[in-house]
Amino acid sequence: MPRPVPDALRTLTVSVESFPIRGTFRISRGSKTEARVVAAEITDGSVTGRGECVPYARYGETVEEVAERIAALAEDVANGMDRDGLQAVLPPGAARNALDCAFWDLEAKLTGVPAWQIADLADPPGPVSTAFTLSIDTPDAMRQAAAGSAAKPLLKLKLAGDGLDLERVRAVREGAPRSRLMVDANEGWTLDDLDRLAPEFHAMGVEMIEQPLPAADDDALLGWRGPVKLGADESVHGLDSLDRLRGKYQVVNIKLDKTGGLTEALALKQAAEAAGLEVMVGCMVATSLAMAPAMLLAQGAAWVDLDGPLLLARDREPGLRYDGTTVHPPEAELWG
């Protein structure tokens, strides 16, 4: 798949990889048993920078098309394209994310300056606590899953909009009575669902409802006042989508695969906080290579959801170190 460039010092390699998921991961739009990721590697002499993305059908992406889009830039990379130039060549999305993160990693390895310093963070990144996701299932099955995860401080519940969501949350609360809860409807609700469920969920301690309505219909949230914070996920991508969140959401979920990499994600985080929004750092189901750059973004975030590797049957080696749901910053061998 990579396009060879003769006599080039800097080369780009693209690969498609599959990592099995532990069990089945279900959201309102469907289910899957494996995570198919696209990895980009930029090699300059003896140094290689790496990045990983997850193409997402919801945004019109396929693994094959994203891999080809990255590979098509091999000559540009060989001819000196850098991270800044990349922003003008590709739009926000999975393809730019993999390349952007590979450029960050490459710069850190070439200069010996860690990525957090390149990003002008005030302090080196520290461990953060991540939510742990329970995918959609029957209420009884989700109660059992919650009981098995009752020691985890924050659970994120995937919901379906099929009339059983109240029973699902009740079951999870029974299974994990002390865990903090947030729920993700993945665009599966109507405004009537939100009006009906938000007070019930508030009474059970649910702290945030993520993307209750389809992104195309979320103007219905303008002026909505309820007892639970609302988070934007599918409704926000890059900086240009921030303005349309005003008056609808209190939390913005920033994912590298939506922003097109760490470069725009850092700018979006700063702008979102300046606009008075709380920041959540999220992920697709992917390996530690995809989570590692997001650890810079997660510093100081109000909500962290970087549990992708915990949902896999196997991760990359070396990967991030997880102590339960506490995730530690990457070692340089992995990224940055």
d(CA 181, CA 206): 5
**Active-site residue identified among 109, 156, 158, 269:** 158
Q: Residue 27: its pLDDT value, please?
A: 76
pTM of the model as a whole: 0.93
Q: Residue 28: its pLDDT value, please?
A: 62
All CATH 3.20.20.120 domain ranges of the chain, comma separated, are: 128-327
Rg (CA), the chain: 20
Q: Residue 9: its pLDDT value, please?
A: 83
**Active-site residue identified among 229, 255, 258, 269:** 255
The CATH code of the domain at 10-113 is 3.30.390.10
Chosen CATH of 128-327 out of 3.40.50.720, 3.20.20.120, 3.20.20.70, 3.40.50.1820: 3.20.20.120
Q: Is 152 a catalytic residue?
A: no
Q: Residue 29: its pLDDT value, please?
A: 63
Are 288 and 319 in contact by the 8 Å Cβ rule? The answer is yes
Q: Residue 118: its pLDDT value, please?
A: 98
* Mean pLDDT, 10 residues at a time, the chain of 336 residues: 49 97 75 90 96 94 97 97 96 97 98 97 97 95 96 96 96 98 96 98 98 97 96 96 95 98 98 97 97 98 96 96 97 97
Nearest to 260 by CA among 70, 116, 79: 70
Q: Which two tokens stand for residue 206?
A: 């649910």
Q: Is 158 a catalytic residue?
A: yes
Q: Residue 33: its pLDDT value, please?
A: 87
All CATH 3.30.390.10 domain ranges of the chain, comma separated, are: 10-113
| CA distance readout (Å), 179 to 30, 215, 260, 290 | 26, 29, 32, 26
Q: Residue 1: its pLDDT value, please?
A: 40
Q: Report CA dihedral (134, 257, 110, 126) to the nearest 10 degrees.
A: -40
